[in-house]
Structure 1
Amino acid sequence: MRARWRACVYWLFIAILLPGLAQAGAQNREVRVAWVPDGDTLILEDREVVRIKGMDAPETAGNGRPDQYFAQEATERLEELIKDRVITLKTGQVPEDRYGRTLAHAYLPSGENIGLLLVREGLAFYYPHEDQDEKISRDLLRAQQRAIDESAGFWPEVLNQHPEVETWAGNKRSKRFHHPGCGYGQRISEHNREEFDTLREAFYAGYAPCRRCTPWPDADR
């Protein structure tokens, strides 16, 4: 009886404590941006590097690689959105990525989610990951699906890439999809494997491309 009582007290304590810890882990702060290196990254006035959560934009040139298709358009649109404005960053339980960049959702003074705007305009795609707010994730995916349906931004060109590929391999656990020749895709277990006939199906289902076998075209395609 005492053991059962102690167990009840323990779980009651956990139920009360965890929401408070989650709230404490989240931080909101107002910042100014010094410059924008690409469509999903901000460099603040104090040189802090911020990676916008929940989305990914085409990569700008670097390390010997050219711009990806629509990289400059995404960068310019992000610059336009944050120019001369104080924006709000909201971090979660995982405040940094493995590169030391701050992970945060970014908001305009109007309260609009900047990442959501870029996805809705077809300038960035939904990037599912750990420690993402479920509602924001749903909103981002819906915005992407709408952008695909309306052929916004980069989608018409991107979805026409690699018509010769018959099946793209998706990993249910990581929510990444792979070219059939990608080693990472070939190692997906049957339990976690989901197959897509087209790029449209993969993106529409909320999967993001593997960085090693991305189907994204270069800007000079």
Structure 2
Amino acid sequence: MKNFANAFLLKNKSFSKKSFSKKIFLSVFVLFLLTASFLLVSCGASQDDTSNLTNERGKVQESSLNEAPSDSADSSADAEKKKDLQIEDAVPEGFVKAYVSEVIDGDTIVIALNGREEKVRLIGVDTPESTIRHEPYGKEASNYTKSKLLGRTIYLEKDVSERDKYGRLLRYVWLEVPQNNSESEIRNKMFNAILLLGGYAQTATFPPDVKYTDYFVKFQREAQKNRKGFWGNAVLQNSSMRETSYIGNMRSKKFHRPDCIWAKKISPSNRVNFKSRNEALSSGYVPCKVCRP
């Protein structure tokens, strides 16, 4: 009996060991399956995420490529507009852009320049007075200058002198920037010349500002011939001007054309008349540098 019991116990111990080993094996196997399943699911998710990320990147790149030409085109268009504006605003060397804020008389204006106002006296021309003294055709000349210049942009050109004795800027006034210094450009775009051609002014040359003097003398003669402006006014066509070819100043020993601004200022007691240029020269007189007789 005792032997039987011992045999039974040994058998049970052997069975228990086998059962325990089996349980451990099953546990390890289940753990392996769970681990493998987790790894498979993780890899699948990772692949899906990677695929989705790749797709998203592709979409972003495609969107960027699609939008790039438009952005580039807009930038190019903006650059062209800026370039056009720069070209339009560009002023050639030797010219200054200004705005006419006031017209004082036919040959004097006020401009806005660099945040301040400046008086400008037109070079080489002289219009009849219309402010302190009222001379024939002075009002007409002043009104003409107002109609052409007031409130508009002009371009100023300097000759040699900066200012006159009254502190006014001395300038040629251009309605447009000239392409060149041809007579055609001067006739059509320079307001100093336009005043002469219209008979609103006469030449008044003061060296050293003589850049366009030859043209100005020519334009004045043309206006006289065509009886433009005050040259057609009976008040100015007095008999002494018609009969006298040249007028001399006995004190300065200079002779002038009858229509010269300086000839009109010679007092009767200091005045001498010449019928020809040769007569004036042979009498020891020299030509006026303003009217150039």
User: One fold, TM greater than 0.5?
Assistant: yes
Give 1:132's aligned residue: 209
Q: TM-score, normalised by structure 1?
A: 0.64
Match of 2:107 among 40, 51, 57: 40
Number of residue equivalences: 167
Matched, 1:145 2:221: yes
Mapped partners of 1:122, 1:165: distance in 2: 18
8 A contact 1:41–1:50 mirrored in 2: yes
Structure 2 SS opposite 1:68: coil
1:41-70 deviation line (CA, Å, top 9, x unaligned): 0111333111000100001131xx3x1111
Q: Who wins on radius of gyration, i.e. which is larger?
A: 2
Q: Does 1:58 find its partner at 2:128?
A: yes
- Give, in whole Å, the separation in 2 of the partners of 1:164 and 1:121: 20
1:193-221 CA distance string (max 9 Å, x none): 56xxxxxxx9xx9359xxxxxxxxxxxxx
Cα distance, 1:84–1:94 mapped onto 2, change above 3 Å: same
Match of 1:107 among 174, 181, 205: 174
Are the equivalent residues in 1 in contact too, given 2:199–2:224 (CA < 8 A)? yes
SS in 2 for 1:109: coil
The 2-side partners of 1:53 and 1:97 are apart by 10
Q: Aligned runs of 1:196-215 on 2, under 5 Å?
A: 206=291
Structure 1 letter corresponding to 2:284: H
> 1:121 Cα deviation (Å)?
0.3
* 1:120 aligned residue: 197
Pairwise mapping of residues 151-190 of structure 1 onto structure 2 (< 5 A)?
151-157=227-233, 158-161=235-238, 163=240, 167=244, 168-169=247-248, 171=254, 176-178=262-264, 179=266, 181=268, 183=270
Considering Cα pairs closer than 8 Å and 6+ residues apart, tell me whether 1 or 2 has the greater RCO: 1
Name the SS for the 1:142 alignment partner. Answer: helix
- Structure 2 gaps of 5+ residues are 1-92, 179-188, 273-280
Q: 1:87 aligned to 142, 149, 154, which one?
A: 154
Q: Kindly report structure 1 stretches of 4+ aligned residues shifted beyond 6 Å.
A: none
Residues 91 and 104 of structure 1 are in contact (CA less than 8 Å); yes or no, is this contact kept in structure 2? yes
Identity %: 22
Q: Are the counterparts in 1 of residues 110 and 120 from structure 2 also a CA contact under 8 Å?
A: yes
RMSD of aligned residue pairs (Cα, Å): 3.2
Matched with 2:285 is: 192
Deviation, 1:172, is 5.1
User: TM-score, normalised to structure 2's length?
Assistant: 0.50
Whether the aligned pair in 2 keeps the contact of 1:53 and 1:103 (CA below 8 Å) is yes
Q: Which amino acid aligns with 1:163?
A: S
State the alpha-carbon separation in 1 of the partners of residues 155 and 285 from structure 2. Answer: 37
Q: Which has the higher helix share?
A: 2
Which letter does structure 1 place at the counterpart of 2:226?
Answer: E
Output the CA distance in 1 between the equivalents of 2:104 and 2:241. 34
1:182 CA displacement: 5.4
CA offsets per residue over residues 93-118 of structure 1, 9 Å max, x none?
21111111111111002641101001
Given the superposition, is the C-alpha separation of residues 162 and 98 from structure 1 closer, same or farther in structure 2, using an over 3 Å criterion? Answer: farther
SS in structure 2 at match of 1:32: strand
Amino acid at match of 1:191: G
The residue type equivalent to 1:181 in the other structure is: P
Q: Deviations over 1:15-56 (max 9, x none)?
A: xxxxxxxxxxx9421111111010000111333111000100
Counterpart-to-counterpart distance in 2, 1:182 and 1:48: 40
